[in-house]
Amino acid sequence: MKFTKMHALGNDFIIINNIKNTLILTKDIIKKLSNRYLGIGCDQLLLIESSFNKNIDFNYRIFNSDGNEVEQCGNGARCLALYLKIKKLICKKKICVSTKNRVIYLKIINNKMISVNMGIPLFNPKDIPFITNSIKNTYKIYFQNKYIYFNIVSLGNPHCIIQVNDVLKTPVSLIGSFLENHIVFPQKINVGFMQYIDINNIKLRVFERGVGETNACGSGACAAVAIGIKKNILSEKVYVNLRGGIITIIWKGNKNNLFMIGDAKYIYDGKIIL
């Protein structure tokens, strides 16, 4: 099987061309391929398939390193766009792809920078899904003798955002694992830890469901900014400083689409015997 290794801000991917729909990957195979010691190694595996809709260029499937398919991956979408250009699978700069639960639009700005239309952020608990008796601006969960206060949002995949004083001193894995597997999140949750710097800048660490903490999370950056704008503490354009680098998020609020702009990088091509 041929594959391509790519990354966006250190969030790394195995990308596989399955446009002819001849390849079947099981959960166990995906886990083996994603293993950094016994396989290729990645945060997520991306599968490109042909589309049966004439208005959609490709179908785009995302699998976490635990083998489970998920709905969205912002960094992966940027890598996908660059991959399609490098492999000459498409010649236009504006690309439309379908994911598990929505359609997203990609724009190749130059050889590295990609813009992704992530759609409209959703804050209703049923869209996460999040089990609660009432809709609130901020929710809380009791953990280790104190409350964790958080906000929720979906960008096609579920996010829980916690505002912290210092991301470097926050026990990301401990709290992230607790919330990811909490009963109130029946489909699990991505947990973002946001440190406010000023109205145009935040720091962010993300514990991704089925993966753990990653160097960067595109949809997590979008989620954190959407929450910050909803809370009136961030402007329409925000630079998100992640462990792997900086990404730009633009959102005018309300029912407007949210845009993510960042780079993507090709690492190498390879082949592996399944």
The 10s digit of each residue's pLDDT in 196-217 is: 999 999 999 999 999 999 999 9
Q: Which of 42, 79, 160, 217 is catalytic?
A: 217
pLDDT in tens, 128-179: 999 999 999 999 999 999 999 999 999 999 999 999 999 999 999 999 999 9
Residue 129 φ then ψ, to 5°: -85, 155
Q: What is the pLDDT of residues 50-87, one digit of tens each?
A: 998 999 999 999 999 999 999 999 999 999 999 999 99
Q: Among this protein's residues, is 217 annotated catalytic?
A: yes
Ordered by start, the domain boundaries in the chain are: 2-117+263-271, 125-256
CA-nearest of 155, 98, 150, 99 to 127 is: 155
Q: Which is nearest to 192 in space by CA: 220, 152, 154, 232? A: 220
pLDDT for 111 beyond 80: no
- What is the predicted pLDDT for the residue at 237? 98
Equal fold, 2-117+263-271 vs 125-256: yes
Burial class, 74, CB count within 10 angstroms (exposed 0-12 / middle 13-18 / buried 19+): buried
Helices (H), the chain: 27-34, 74-86, 172-180, 218-230
> The whole model's pTM is what?
0.93
CATH superfamily name and code, 125-256 = Diaminopimelate Epimerase; Chain A, domain 1 (3.10.310.10)
Is 42 a known active-site residue? no
CA distance 201 to 246: 10
- Homologous superfamily (CATH) for 2-117+263-271: Diaminopimelate Epimerase; Chain A, domain 1 (3.10.310.10)
**Sign of the alpha-carbon torsion through 144, 136, 166, 11:** positive
Choosing from 73, 79, 160, 222, the catalytic residue is 73
3-state secondary structure of 267: strand
Of 37-41, 98-102, 140-144, 167-171, where does mean pLDDT reach its minimum?
Answer: 98-102
Maximum CA extent, the chain: 56
User: CB-based contacts of 188: which residues, under 8 Å, 6+ apart?
Assistant: 158, 180, 181, 209, 210
CA distance linking residue 17 with residue 49, whole number of Å: 7
